Structure 1
Amino acid sequence: MAQDLTLARPVTGTATPVSPGPRRRPRRWLTGTLKALAGLFFVVLALFPLAWMVIAGFKTKTEVVRTPFQFFPQVWNVDNYTQILADPTFLRSLGITGFGAVLFTLLSLTVNSMAAYAFARLEFQLKRTLWVVVITTMFIPGMTILLTSFIMVTKLHMLDTLAVLVLPGAAAAIHVFFIRQFYLNIPRSLEEAALIDGCGRWGVYLRIFLPMSKAPFVVVGVTSFLTFWNSYVWPIMTITSPELYQIQQYLASFRSERSSELGMLMAGSALAAAPVVLVFLVFQRQIIANIKMAGLK
């Protein structure tokens, strides 16, 4: 009996929970604080150029390049913003760039989603070979085909038109690949049920795949919009008419012709960056969610 009691004592002693020592709490608090400070540092580092550009628009000509460096102006002046907004060429460049970006985005979503559906669901001759050709174009730098692209659009008489900005880059292999990967995860049972009900391939694409394509469309649409808005080299090569100047093209010509008015240049650059920031703020949650989803898949 005594032996049973002696054996039972250590068993009950080991069953008591051991509370974690108080030393771990300061470590966790210190780790969380360091992570927050590191995140804040990188946020400030990333937003500093944008904030300086916006604030530089309120400075005079001499204050922008003043030595020593001064972040805030001595007197806040809105003349640079009012003058650049009064320039009809700047407003026309904003308008034509915005219209072209929306048109380019819609065309990009249409072309790339249809190609993605064809490679994901349809069976046709030389499908694998064509898919390899499409994927290979992802590894060709855009700068290497600028000259051949320019020769082609010249022979097609597309120079100085909005079409030369919208049509050549609408089809992108990376977008076809991204949307195709999403389409491959759509259950085939939905497609088969629609085909049994008498829906054709075109109807399946319009009624099943398109309504379910919000996730990849957000990423592809935002990417296409930003690509068109920030394009500079291609408009410089193909557009010479001031009526079709893109916003980056206008800012480049403004800098070369009126290099002394840096305050107005900073104001125009800040206004040109506003749509990009606005688009990202509106769709940031969807973009982050889709990137996480793509990473899990």
Structure 2
Amino acid sequence: MILKQGLLALKYAILVSLALAVLVPFLYVILKSLTPNAILGKALFFPEQLTFDNYRTILFDTPFFRYLLNTIFLAVTITAGSLVFDAMAAFGFSRITFPGRELLFVLVIAMLVVPGEVLLLPRYMIMRDFGWIDDYKALIIPALSSAYAIFFLRQFFLVLPRELEESAFIDGCSRWRVFVQIIVPLVKAPLLTIGLMIFFGAWDEFLWPLTVINTPEKYVLQVAVSLLDTEFSTNIGAKFSNVVLSSLPIVLLFLAIQKHYISGITSGALKG
């Protein structure tokens, strides 16, 4: 009995420690965003004075809402397009037999271990040759395919009974109609899960937009924070405020649909 209580206490202690490891940095950012720049480095956590000047700087002295709309547009477009193409690719790898399918799938999986920084220069050169530098196409088109999303969705398509498709084929359905009307409705949870992952990734993208977008009016939130620096000063407090404001939509979205997200993750683990 004592051993069981000790293990339970240890489990709760680990969970609390993990929660604090996530929440403390976010609390730190919030407090720093409310701290005047003049005393920003004097207190580790709780400042002597609180102010909303940093938020006023972001909301009224910069085109914050323009950057927000840019980020929403790109994140939604990339997520919707990626779900369409990745779902079709995953369905093809799981259901359609064609020459070189296994080799092609191995190549797709191999991309999971290639760091994005390695592909930065080749992607930039391709975008330059296409004439897409400083164009949203350079942000959207390369992001319409994800090796992880293809692998993730393929695992769900593999466990669906083939009898569903065979019955539909007998009734005269085309493969496209089977995919849209029968297969896709059965994988709504994993589609939502992978869609959220893609959306979060597109929202937080920094290095690639910084590389290919040169016009400030086209910046996304993560890149726009660089405009707060001048030749002689850096507005650290406003940067903290920008981090809080840009993170708020993601946090609210996750809290609203976390049950569906967790459901998709756990069902994927069970289906292996």
TM-score > 0.5 by shorter chain: yes
Does 1:74 pair with 2:48? Answer: yes
Structure 1 unaligned runs (5+)?
A: 1-23
- State the SS of the aligned residue for 1:129: helix
Question: 1:29 maps to what in 2?
Answer: 5
Question: 1:46 maps to what in 2?
Answer: 22
Per-residue CA shift, 1:98-139, capped at 9, x if unaligned? 110010000110010011111111122322232222222222
Does 1:213 pair with 2:166? Answer: no
CA distance in 1, matches of 2:268, 2:22: 25
CA distance in 2, matches of 1:195, 1:236: 48
Q: Deviation at 1:187?
A: 1.0
Does 1:273 pair with 2:230? Answer: no
- State the SS of the aligned residue for 2:99: coil
CA distance in 1, matches of 2:9, 2:69: 45
Question: 2:262 maps to what in 1?
Answer: 288
Question: 1:21 maps to what in 2?
Answer: none
Per-residue CA shift, 1:175-233, capped at 9, x if unaligned? 11110110011111111111111110010011011111212212211111111111111
CA distance in 2, matches of 1:161, 1:146: 16
Does 1:86 pair with 2:60? Answer: yes
CA distance in 1, matches of 2:120, 2:141: 14
Does 1:261 pair with 2:242? Answer: no
2:92 to 84, 105, 118: 118
CA distance in 2, matches of 1:88, 1:202: 47
Check 1:88–1:252 CA distance in 2 against 1; reply closer, same or farther (3 A cut): closer
Q: Deviation at 1:96?
A: 0.1
2:157 to 173, 176, 183: 183
- State the SS of the aligned residue for 1:95: helix
Per-residue CA shift, 1:20-46, capped at 9, x if unaligned? xxxx2x443333233223321221121
Q: Which amino acid aligns with 1:204?
A: V
Q: Which amino acid aligns with 2:12?
A: A
CA distance in 1, matches of 2:40, 2:254: 28
Question: RMSD of aligned C-alpha atoms?
Answer: 1.8
Question: 1:153 maps to what in 2?
Answer: 127
Contact kept, 8 Å, 2:190 with 2:268, in 1: the verdict is no
CA distance in 2, matches of 1:191, 1:103: 30
Contact kept, 8 Å, 2:36 with 2:50, in 1: the verdict is no
Contact kept, 8 Å, 1:89 with 1:242, in 2: the verdict is no
- State the SS of the aligned residue for 2:51: coil
Identity in percent: 33
Question: 2:202 maps to what in 1?
Answer: 228
CA distance in 1, matches of 2:58, 2:231: 14
Question: 1:18 maps to what in 2?
Answer: none
- State the SS of the aligned residue for 1:30: helix
Q: Deviation at 1:171?
A: 0.7
Q: Deviation at 1:281?
A: 1.8
Question: 1:197 maps to what in 2?
Answer: 171
Q: Which amino acid aligns with 2:83?
A: L
Question: 1:95 maps to what in 2?
Answer: 69
TM-score w.r.t. structure 1 length? 0.85
Contact kept, 8 Å, 1:61 with 1:260, in 2: the verdict is no
Q: Deviation at 1:237?
A: 1.1
CA distance in 1, matches of 2:163, 2:157: 13
Moved more, 114-123 or 99-108: 114-123
Contact kept, 8 Å, 1:255 with 1:265, in 2: the verdict is no
CA distance in 1, matches of 2:233, 2:62: 19
Contact kept, 8 Å, 1:103 with 1:166, in 2: the verdict is yes
Structure 2 unaligned runs (5+)?
A: none
Indicate the structure (1 or 2) with the bigger Cα radius of gyration.
1
